Structure 1
């Protein structure tokens, strides 16, 4: 079902927002037998993980990857039946490119953690021997940083790295490879707590946790189409192109105002970005919602280059000391000799407002320095996709502004990667938040809380 809602529909749970958090909450609640109505303002489900059409191609707006340790996200893929549409490395291995040098493969060994990374650090040719030894010592120290301790979130990861003997070059050539991609900020401006979560969980505590997975099919097929199929099978109502204008508590539930009508619901999951949630949540539910703007926003820019012929055999690589960052081969299976490379630029404050032609020219020259074959290969098409609010700004001190899933009104819960999951703003964080919000709401409905008007007093 799509389009506006003309008449009120009563009962059940209203999930507002069709991103990964909303999809997860809706499926989980429907699995528990609750009637669910999912409202999404866009033409498709998927939230930030969406695709668009261009010249016969289905193109992802952002190049999303996941790690083996993303247990909740991988569980969602299993539930959607789309795991086969992804590729998960048998072991962590990333070609690292430096202009003028052959690729260096940064890969783990088949050893128990943390020894699995020691050979990779010891042989990392982009650092000198002193820097490699210092990096190994910093990894050992990072295993003892508690990401859940409140003081940890007040510190910048870059300051911690400097205090642990990491040179500026080591931070750029090693630590930022992960920090910029995972936190959408360089180490110098990222929260130590969130960085510790990434490195400890993804790389240091389990040997295979950091193995990288990537989609082989468009994100619209991986998430949106499959989620709609599952929700339809469960009997959930899905309304696309439906913008919510307000949430109003009533004695026996909530009234959700939308363009063209309203919905009466027993309970609500609010699973939208924080700047939207702050305008929708009733003041009685979250008096501190005015502080959510302090989470800010960090952009990501993707530059797409379609070469007439293949310029590299690498399917994924990271670049240092280059305008490029992470490079992905997203060529269609039937593309023939053509190669579609995407340069994903995180922490893209300097790039978000630059003209597309300038961004394309910069990345064409950057890839020509990294891949000699690109120097004389024609580019058949080039374009740019931008996400000004790709993540919240995961800087020191932001955890204080990330709300818990519960609100002061029973029957109204929050979901989204920006809520206080303890995880960065990632697909894993989004799915975890949706699952947690659904479980809390299910328990609240069983306990039959007081009327909202009474609880708000």
Structure 2
């Protein structure tokens, strides 16, 4: 075999793995079937707008992702809050604000919960108790992988109103699945790490440039600057012993291979001899996200983003600066756990979401909609439901030199950009260890 490492898949996991291998000075090639890098984070042009396929955010505690941005030269192209601060809006002028206080962790968010005006005082106290209990839960406890979050919250004193007006705001967005279907384990991980970890852990970061400029373009430049090779529109058809990758009938030997594709493609690529449990990966399924894009002829809100309750609008973001419309305001509504919307025609989505936005932003009633469209990610994440934790594979396979990466692997994190980057770094570390022990020949 040759000394070159092959990484299959140019999403964040593949980028992180390729860059980490290249930084050791070893030759590495990244194969991506599409004509761009970035995986599920990409941009496209539409009638003068630069559109991201979906609204991606991160938290200050996403240290691996933030370090990757630094390594590819994109750290200056994101904005991170000085302090966790989320406006919460509802129809008919109802509003609230969740902002971390000055208390040390893990008490920094408790005053915000205790003052949350959308719940009565007694419900707020119960919410604080439930939050403390969830923050103390062990995400790795197998028992938490077997129960849904809705049931757990109900058992901890959270009635339907509290679950709808408070817990859904973060759980659905973080896990991309309804709370009655979400496993408690990944939810506990989110709350323990982000909301009850370091005081600044949950500060929200958003891209200040299109995703293609944040990830794909600079990642390719960084890999090539370190001696790596990026091959776009290069679809790997199979992996054979050696290991060897097969592209359009051409076999290319490698010192090691990292499969950094979504789990559906990985199950087709990885030989059964290397991963006898690969059929189980299909049990991870998929959960969709829908993004509703609206351009108004005038500004309708001064908020950079907001969470919304009692509305089909879950989170809404001002994309005007990044998207670049000639005039007016460009908003994106991010709808997680979007099974009810993924197949709806755009006209039906418009008929529901435009009135919903007018109820949240009254100024929209006097504005004219100059553009409206919908983007859909059918396989945005795997379904992080009860039992899914047991289906996530470790990065090592039975074949020496063949490894897995992706947010769907057993990273200890939910399916997020942070989880994807961590998986790529883990796979790269295994590659380095393998080559140090065996050496390319």
| Residue 196 of structure 2 corresponds to residue 204 of structure 1 | yes
The answer on whether the counterparts of 1:410 and 1:449 sit within 8 Å (CA) in structure 2 is no
Q: Paired residue for 1:386?
A: 376
Q: Paired residue for 1:119?
A: 111
Q: CA deviation at 1:21?
A: 0.2
Unmatched runs of 5 consecutive residues or more in structure 2: none
Q: Paired residue for 1:284?
A: 273
CA distance in 1, matches of 2:331, 2:249: 43
TM-score where L is the length of structure 1 = 0.94
1:173 is matched with which residue: 165, 186, 194? 165
2:5 is matched with which residue: 1, 13, 19? 13
Deviation per residue, 1:59-104 (Å, 9 max, x gap): 1001000000000000001111111110000010001011012432
Structure-2 change in CA distance of 1:182 and 1:77 (3 Å): same
Q: CA deviation at 1:337?
A: 4.4
Q: Paired residue for 1:274?
A: 263
Unmatched runs of 5 consecutive residues or more in structure 1: 1-8, 452-457
Correspondences of 1:415-434 after superposition (within 5 Å): 415-434=405-424
Q: CA deviation at 1:283?
A: 1.2
2:296 is matched with which residue: 303, 307, 311? 307
CA distance in 2, matches of 1:283, 1:53: 41
Q: CA deviation at 1:262?
A: 2.9
Q: Paired residue for 1:130?
A: 122
| Residue 103 of structure 2 corresponds to residue 103 of structure 1 | no
Q: CA deviation at 1:259?
A: 2.5
2:355 is matched with which residue: 329, 343, 365? 365
CA distance in 1, matches of 2:155, 2:134: 12
CA distance in 1, matches of 2:3, 2:271: 19
Q: Paired residue for 2:341?
A: 351
SS of the aligned residue for 1:113 comes to coil
Correspondences of 1:64-103 after superposition (within 5 Å): 64-103=56-95
SS of the aligned residue for 2:36 comes to coil
Deviation per residue, 1:110-144 (Å, 9 max, x gap): 21122211221111111111110100011111122
SS of the aligned residue for 1:187 comes to coil
1:341 is matched with which residue: 331, 334, 359? 331
SS of the aligned residue for 2:136 comes to coil
Q: CA deviation at 1:10?
A: 4.6
CA distance in 1, matches of 2:349, 2:26: 48
1:139 is matched with which residue: 131, 137, 142? 131
Q: Paired residue for 2:308?
A: 319
| Residue 391 of structure 2 corresponds to residue 401 of structure 1 | yes
1:377 is matched with which residue: 367, 370, 373? 367
1:328 is matched with which residue: 292, 317, 328? 317
1:32 is matched with which residue: 24, 29, 32? 24
CA distance in 2, matches of 1:76, 1:293: 29
The answer on whether the counterparts of 1:97 and 1:319 sit within 8 Å (CA) in structure 2 is yes
Deviation per residue, 1:156-201 (Å, 9 max, x gap): 1111100000011111111110111000012221111000000010
Worse overlay, 425-434 or 49-58: 49-58
CA distance in 1, matches of 2:103, 2:206: 24
Q: CA deviation at 1:332?
A: 2.8
| Residue 216 of structure 2 corresponds to residue 224 of structure 1 | yes
Q: How many residues align?
A: 440
Q: CA deviation at 1:264?
A: 1.5
CA distance in 2, matches of 1:261, 1:103: 60
CA distance in 2, matches of 1:137, 1:336: 49
| Residue 47 of structure 2 corresponds to residue 58 of structure 1 | no
| Residue 229 of structure 2 corresponds to residue 237 of structure 1 | yes
CA distance in 2, matches of 1:32, 1:393: 35
The answer on whether the counterparts of 2:307 and 2:316 sit within 8 Å (CA) in structure 1 is yes
Deviation per residue, 1:208-241 (Å, 9 max, x gap): 1000000010000000011011011112111111
| Residue 140 of structure 2 corresponds to residue 148 of structure 1 | yes
CA distance in 2, matches of 1:291, 1:21: 21
Give the root-mean-square deviation of aligned CA atoms. Answer: 1.5
Deviation per residue, 1:274-295 (Å, 9 max, x gap): 0000000011110000110000
